[in-house]
């Protein structure tokens, strides 16, 4: 299902509220990951950028960022969020597969990837590509959900499904009532 940019933004903020209700701040998590890097050097590459939370945080630290993802819809939302944060001019959003990065060897000072490993049937080509495009002395920054993180994501997805079911039931009830009149 294709959503409008406004719908995507609404869904993103609603999901953030649900995460916060469960005690998790997604923006703080991106800050935490970037803080974990000993020393950040640009330009940075964010692999599997999704909604761009990490790319935005890297740009906030003053780095020029290239963000790459295979999903058009996610890339569109990431661009909107970067724009909202006033950081879009520092981030280049590109369409591409992380298993075949279209960049020269050693092009980046930092190559980052958060919560993407679990999407990959075989992570080896992606990890090899990340190692190829980071320069000597550069930083590879990789973070992934732990078991608690996966459980949290499932709870949020279940809550969203429940909410959709309720909305659907309400819409059907209205339709039936109208049908009776």
Ligand X SMILES: C[S@@+](CC[C@H](N)C(=O)[O-])C[C@H]1O[C@@H](n2cnc3c(N)ncnc32)[C@H](O)[C@@H]1O
Q: Where are the beta strands (DSSP E) in the chain?
A: 44-47, 65-69, 91-95, 108-114, 134-143
Q: Which residues bind ligand X (CB under 6 A)?
A: 30, 48-51, 53-54, 68-71, 74, 97-99, 114-116, 119-120
In the complex with ligand X, the residue whose CB is nearer, 5 or 172, is: 5
In the complex with ligand X, the residue whose CB is nearer, 43 or 47, is: 47
119 token code pair: 């999407």
Q: Considering only CA atoms, which of 177, 30, 9, 23 is closest in space to residue 112?
A: 30
The minimum distance between CB 99 and ligand X, in angstroms, equals 5
What SS3 state is found at 78?
helix
In the complex with ligand X, the residue whose CB is nearer, 20 or 168, is: 20
The minimum distance between CB 98 and ligand X, in angstroms, equals 3
In the complex with ligand X, the residue whose CB is nearer, 37 or 120, is: 120
The minimum distance between CB 178 and ligand X, in angstroms, equals 40
The minimum distance between CB 57 and ligand X, in angstroms, equals 8
Q: How many CA atoms lie within 13 A of 123 on its CB side?
A: 13
CA 64 vs. chain centroid, Å, equals: 18
């Amino acid at each position: 299902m294709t959503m409008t940019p406004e719908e995507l933004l609404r869904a993103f903020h609603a999901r953030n509220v649900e995460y916060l209700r469960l005690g998790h701040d997604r923006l703080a998590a991106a800050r935490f990951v970037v803080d974990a890097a000993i020393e950040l050097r640009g330009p940075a590459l964010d692999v599997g950028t999704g909604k761009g939370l990490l790319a935005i945080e890297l740009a906030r630290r003053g780095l020029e960022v290239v963000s790459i993802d295979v999903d058009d819809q996610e890339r569109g939302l990431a661009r909107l969020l970067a724009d909202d944060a006033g950081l879009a001019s520092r981030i280049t959003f590109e369409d591409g597969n992380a298993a075949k990065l279209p960049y020269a060897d050693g092009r980046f000072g930092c190559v980052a990837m958060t919560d993407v490993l679990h999407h990959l049937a075989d992570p080896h080509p992606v990890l090899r590509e990340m190692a190829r495009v980071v320069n000597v002395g550069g930083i590879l920054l990789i973070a992934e959900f732990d078991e608690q993180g996966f459980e949290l994501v499932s709870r949020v997805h279940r809550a969203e499904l429940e909410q959709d079911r309720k909305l659907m039931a309400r819409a059907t009830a209205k339709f039936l009532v109208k049908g009776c009149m």
